[in-house]
């Protein structure tokens, strides 16, 4: 079985929206079981909607419905809020981050998984919290 990783929205969206680092993320997803807080689908769906409405070139030829179906059907093991909420609460009180971001870091901590993120601030805070971060070439 593939090793699990904690996938955050920034990394998953790079893959979904065919951004520059999306290919690296795709290769990592082929060899790891992606896990994430259950809010990831909401975040991704909202970002896909925004990108589609903005006319992103990478999404030409795909309907909004197709993109949202991909978000819904993508195989991510979601982690319920009750398992990470308190840790996220603690993180937002000690670092200047959004609760969304804290949820990914908290899940990585609670589940003892490496975090896959493209967000530089989350990388920095994860390292301060002694959470393993999967390095990407530009990070």
Q: For residue 82, is it within any domain?
A: yes
Give the confidence band of 92 by pLDDT, cuts at 50, 70, 90: very high
pTM of this structure: 0.90
Residue with tokens 């996938």: 7
Range of the domain at 18: 3-128
Q: For residue 137, is it within any domain?
A: no
Phi-psi region of 11 (alpha: psi -120 to 50; beta: other; left: phi over 0): alpha
Q: What is the CATH number of the domain that holds 31?
A: 3.40.50.1010
Beta bridge partners of 107: none
Residue 134 has pLDDT above 70, yes or no: yes
Q: What is the pLDDT of residue 98?
A: 95
Q: For residue 96, is it within any domain?
A: yes
Q: What is the pLDDT of residue 136?
A: 77
Residue among 15, 43, 17, 46 at smallest CA distance from 116: 15
Q: What is the pLDDT of residue 104?
A: 97
Please write the tens of the pLDDT for every residue from 25-82.
999 999 999 999 999 999 999 999 999 999 888 788 889 999 999 999 999 999 999 9
Q: For residue 138, is it within any domain?
A: no
* pLDDT greater at residue 37 or residue 2: 37
Q: For residue 133, is it within any domain?
A: no
Which residues, 6 or more positions from 76, have their beta carbon under 8 angstroms from its beta carbon? 7, 12, 34, 35, 36, 40, 41
Dist CA 55 CA 39 (whole Å): 25
Tell me what percent of the residues of the chain surpass a pLDDT of 90.
Answer: 83
Q: For residue 76, is it within any domain?
A: yes
* Pairing verdict, β 32-37 and 3-7: parallel
Residue 139 has pLDDT above 80, yes or no: no
If one counts the domains in the chain, the total is: 1
């Amino acid at each position: 079985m593939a090793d699990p990783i904690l996938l955050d929205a920034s990394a998953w969206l790079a893959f979904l929206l065919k951004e520059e680092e999306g290919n690296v993320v795709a290769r990592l997803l082929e060899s790891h079981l992606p896990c994430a807080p259950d809010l990831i689908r909401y975040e991704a769906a909202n970002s896909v909607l925004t990108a589609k409405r903005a006319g992103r070139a990478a999404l030409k030829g795909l309907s909004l419905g197709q993109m949202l179906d991909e978000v819904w059907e993508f195989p991510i093991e979601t982690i319920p809020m009750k398992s990470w909420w308190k840790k996220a609460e603690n993180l937002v009180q000690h670092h200047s981050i959004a609760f969304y971001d804290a949820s990914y870091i908290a899940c990585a901590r609670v589940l003892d998984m490496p975090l896959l993120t493209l967000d530089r601030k989350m990388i920095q805070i994860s390292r301060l919290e002694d959470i393993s971060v999967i390095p990407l070439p530009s990070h």
